[in-house]
């Protein structure tokens, strides 16, 4: 049990060193680590994105996957549009419990299956 506590403590320390800018993390014991985590402010970056039409004769596929937590109830969706922006195909499905990267991969997989079936 003591070894497990040591491993968890070490992993949390490593995580804090990665997430908190150089020199700000000083905690070595649980009380200090809890304080550091409580005081940590996430930086938020934002960019304005604009969807662009695909070139004539091409299709564009946009996908998204989401999970409620990084192991949680998950779903994905995609839509395929032509050069006019008209939807050619779209799909959304729930996939049960999964992690974020798996959900995104499943969205890509579903898109590829539909594109193969449609002969795109």
C-alpha distances out from residue 21 to 71, 94, 99, Å: 27, 38, 27
Position 77 pLDDT exceeds 60: yes
Is 54 within the bounds of a domain? no
Domain containing 109: what range? 60-118
At 64 the pLDDT is: 94
Region 8-36: what's the mean pLDDT? 70
Mean pLDDT over the full length of the chain: 85
How many domains does one find in the chain?
Answer: 2
Give one word for 83, left, alpha or beta, with left for phi > 0 and alpha for psi -120 to 50.
alpha
Is 52 within the bounds of a domain? no
Say which residue, 64 or 16, is predicted with more confidence: 64
pLDDT tier at 38 (50, 70, 90 boundaries)?
Answer: confident
Is 51 within the bounds of a domain? no
At 20 the pLDDT is: 67
Name the residue with tokens 């998950």: 74
Give the three-state DSSP class for 96. Answer: strand
Is 47 within the bounds of a domain? no
At 75 the pLDDT is: 96
Is 102 within the bounds of a domain? yes
Q: What is the CATH number of the domain that holds 105?
A: 3.30.420.10
**DSSP class of residue 25?**
-
C-alpha distances out from residue 80 to 14, 60, 64, 85, 115, Å: 42, 5, 12, 9, 9
> Does the predicted TM-score (pTM) go above 0.75?
no
Is 86 within the bounds of a domain? yes
* 111 and 68, same domain (yes or no): yes
* 30 and 73, same domain (yes or no): no
């Amino acid at each position: 049990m003591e070894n497990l506590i040591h491993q968890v403590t070490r992993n949390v320390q490593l995580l804090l060193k990665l997430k908190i800018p150089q020199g700000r993390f000083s905690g070595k014991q649980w009380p200090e680590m809890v304080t550091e985590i409580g005081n940590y402010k996430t930086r938020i970056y934002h960019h304005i994105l604009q969807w662009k039409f695909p070139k004539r004769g091409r299709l564009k596929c946009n996908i998204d996957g989401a999970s409620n937590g990084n192991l949680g109830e998950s779903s994905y969706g995609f839509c395929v549009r032509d050069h006019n922006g008209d939807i050619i195909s779209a799909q959304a499905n729930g996939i049960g419990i999964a992690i974020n990267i798996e959900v995104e991969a499943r969205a890509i997989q579903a898109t590829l299956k539909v594109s193969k079936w449609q002969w795109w």
